[in-house]
């Protein structure tokens, strides 16, 4: 199998939620209990207005990466958690007219091949919104490096989600995301 041949395109993530969570479990580190919780959350998210997903699929049909997101809704849990932090930094306006990247994960065996960059660029290219926001663990990680290289800057740091052990950074970027030269 040629890793580089994974193809990026829209995917019915609700139908492939177990495959997607298996990727997330190994990429991000989720135990079985967390996978079960995430499964409900993902399926609920995918019913939100404007929710969409893209996947990276190998020639033999294996899902090795995915991204999903939706237009931000200030009533959604994620938005209500980050809003006070964005108010402090004067960036709460980013919660209006923004496309939220909810999850982005690439299987470790397929990382470093451009799939993460391709997935987030593909999904944001479909957004009508003029900007995009997301949260990432507040540490120097490949994810943070990727987001910065795409124009995302920190809107707030040390953001605490009630269920998460580690603080997050909230980042925002204008759309469309830049292409590599
Ligand atoms: C973040 C993630 C999706 C990136 O996917 P990927 O397919 O490996 O990314 P790409 O190959 O498109 O790389 C894009 C950029 O990511 C960054 N990056 C990728 N691997 C990196 C590494 N090992 N160290 C530092 N930066 C790295 C670089 O900025 C890279 O740009 P470059 O091509 O100019 O070097 C992937 O690392 C992943 O799934 N990580 C674990 C889960 C996770 O953290 N998800 C995000 C939650 S917010």
Please check whether residue 51 lies inside any domain of the structure. Answer: yes
Atom of ligand 1 nearest to the CA of 135: 48
Number of domains in the chain: 1
CA 168/CA 136 separation, integer angstroms? 5
Helices of type H across 74-175: 77-88, 115-125, 142-149
Please check whether residue 63 lies inside any domain of the structure. Answer: yes
116 Cβ inside 6 Å of ligand 1: yes
At residue 180, the pLDDT reads 80
Phi then psi for residue 54, to 5 deg, are: -125, 150
Look up the domain containing 152 and give its range: 3-174
- Beta-sheet strand order (sheet of 63-71): 7-10, 52-57, 63-71, 98-106, 131-137, 168-174, 153-159
pTM, two decimal places: 0.95
Atom of ligand 1 nearest to the CA of 28: 42
Please check whether residue 160 lies inside any domain of the structure. Answer: yes
Please check whether residue 179 lies inside any domain of the structure. Answer: no
Please check whether residue 58 lies inside any domain of the structure. Answer: yes
Please check whether residue 121 lies inside any domain of the structure. Answer: yes
User: 70 CB contacts (<8 Å, ≥6 apart)?
Assistant: 45, 48, 49, 50, 51, 52, 99, 100, 102
Residue 104 Cα to ligand 1 midpoint, Å, equals 10
Please check whether residue 128 lies inside any domain of the structure. Answer: yes
CA 15/CA 113 separation, integer angstroms? 26
At residue 57, the pLDDT reads 98
Please check whether residue 181 lies inside any domain of the structure. Answer: no
Looking at residue 24, which CATH number applies to its domain?
3.40.630.30
Atom of ligand 1 nearest to the CA of 119: 12
Give me the tens of pLDDT residue by residue for the chain, a chain 181 residues long. Answer: 445 589 999 999 999 999 999 999 999 999 999 999 999 999 999 999 999 999 999 999 999 999 999 999 999 999 999 999 999 999 999 999 999 999 999 999 999 999 999 999 999 999 999 999 999 999 999 999 999 999 999 999 999 999 899 999 999 999 999 998 6
CA 21/CA 42 separation, integer angstroms? 9
């Amino acid at each position: 199998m040629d890793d580089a041949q994974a193809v990026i395109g829209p995917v019915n993530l609700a139908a492939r939620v177990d495959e997607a969570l298996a990727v997330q479990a190994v990429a991000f580190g989720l135990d079985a209990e967390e996978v079960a919780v995430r499964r409900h959350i993902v399926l609920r998210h995918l019913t939100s207005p404007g929710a969409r997903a893209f996947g990276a699929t190998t020639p033999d049909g294996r899902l090795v990466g995915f991204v999903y997101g939706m237009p931000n809704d200030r009533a959604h849990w994620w938005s209500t958690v980050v809003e006070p932090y964005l108010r402090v930094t004067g960036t709460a306006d980013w919660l209006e007219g923004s496309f939220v990247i909810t999850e982005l994960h690439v299987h470790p065996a397929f990382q470093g091949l451009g799939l993460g960059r391709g997935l987030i660029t593909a999904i944001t290219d479909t957004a009508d919104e003029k900007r995009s926001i997301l949260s990432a663990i507040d540490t120097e990680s490949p994810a943070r490096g990727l987001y910065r290289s795409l124009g995302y800057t920190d809107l707030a740091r040390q953001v605490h989600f009630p269920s998460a052990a580690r603080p997050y950074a909230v980042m925002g970027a204008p759309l469309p995301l830049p292409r590599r030269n």
